[in-house]
Amino acid sequence: MPIISSSYRRPPFYLFNGHLETIVPSIWRKVEGVNYSREKINTPDGDFLNLDWSKVGSSKLLIISHGLEGDSNRHYAKALVKLFNQNNWDVLVWNNRTCGGEMNLKPILYHHGASYDLDTVVQHSLKIERYKEVALAGISMGGAQTLKYLGEKGDSLPLQIKKAAVYSTPCNLPSSAETLKFKSNKFYKNRFLGKLKQKMSLKADQFPDLIKKELLERVSTFDEFDTLFTAKLHGFKDAQDFYQSVSADNWMPQITIPTLIINALNDPLLGKACYPLKLAESKSEILLEMPKRGGHTGFILNNQEFTWAEMRFLEFLNS
């Protein structure tokens, strides 16, 4: 499939670089009028997941996977819920473990490769409702989880799942992780790492013999955090082994349904390998759209309630 020429041109004039396009919506954007019905489901390993539903009585369902340290209340999730509800889709936003306001039971948290939890969500949603059509949407980390899930399932993907769309997605996790070492990205590193350390401290209260707070206090980089905690808790050797082992591009060649990937060229959190040009050129199921602007989960339009990426999702998944 040829690379798609993007219709997104530019954000409002005051968002004049990729950092502003990323930070301003993340902090200031609000979406009103979304009301969830929460459901707690059990996982096969004895934990739980919180699912937030917004139903309009449709035979079509959109399942949304949120980004790192996000949840169902992030602006990008609620905006997709509102937009797709208005266009006759039921929507389900699932919260990764420890996300959505409640600490999980197991010593593990969540990560970019947690497609096993997305699988649990998909199986559950198909059991309780007879949806004729299901689409998957992922933002940032949630996009990576979605791509990994699709590739893992391959030809065994449930027939109801017709299409998928992701944006601002670290298709290659090692490449994305490297960007957090840049001085220009110190704001993002400190914000994400600070939140994750707070959660790991709570997890240490649950499992004091397994997680040592004195080690956590010395952590100042993602490599340290992921080596000492993420890798250890999830069965990887170290941070680099973790990044490489769960990276979505290990599975993307096996994707079998039309899948749109939107990654802005000025995204400060995506490295060069996050733009799968060769795969998109050789694989008809992968549609790669690379706007010059947009930042990370930005794509703001002047005087519009919804972003360009959100409306592009609707156009693609409805087509």
Instruction: Evaluate whether residue 5 is within a structural domain.
Output: no
Domain stops at, among 212, 246, 280: 246
Range of the domain at 229: 176-246
> Does the predicted model carry a pTM greater than 0.95?
yes
11 in a structural domain: no
Residue at 135 is within a domain: yes
How high is the pLDDT of residue 129? 80
Q: Is 163 inside any structural domain?
A: yes
Confidence band, pLDDT 50/70/90 cuts, at residue 1 = low
Q: Give the chain's domain count.
A: 2
Q: Are 208 and 252 within one domain?
A: no
pLDDT at 248: 98
Residues 233 and 278 in one domain: no
Q: Is the same domain home to 150 and 51? A: yes
Is the pLDDT at 34 greater than 60? The verdict is: yes
- Give domain status of residue 227, yes or no: yes
The last residue of one of the domains, among 186, 215, 246, is 246
Helix/strand/coil (H/E/C) assignment for every residue in the chain: CCCECCCCCCCCCCCCCHHHHHHHHHHHCCCCCCCCEEEEEECCCCCEEEEEEECCCCCEEEEEECCCCCCCCCHHHHHHHHHHHHCCCEEEEEECCCCCCCCCCCCCCCCCCCHHHHHHHHHHHHHHCCCCEEEEEEECHHHHHHHHHHHHHHHHCCCCEEEEEEECCCCCHHHHHHHCCCHHHHHHHHHHHHHHHHHHHHHHHHCCCCCCHHHHHCCCCHHHHHHHHHHHHHCCCCHHHHHHHHCHHHCHHHCCCCEEEECCCCCCCCCHHHCCHHHHHHCCCEEEECCCCCCCCCCCCCCCCCCHHHHHHHHHHHC
- The pLDDT, as a whole number, for residue 128 is 85
pLDDT score recorded for residue 109 = 94
- Indicate if the pLDDT at residue 250 is higher than 90: yes
pLDDT at 318 over 80: yes
User: Which residue among 246, 276, 292 closes a domain?
Assistant: 246
| pLDDT beyond 70 at 111 | yes
Q: What is the band of 197 on the pLDDT scale with cuts at 50, 70, 90?
A: very high
If asked whether residues 161 and 242 sit together in one domain, one would say no
Q: Which residue reads 């060069």 in tokens?
A: 272
How does the average pLDDT of the chain come out, rounded?
A: 96
Domain membership of residue 55 (yes or no) is yes
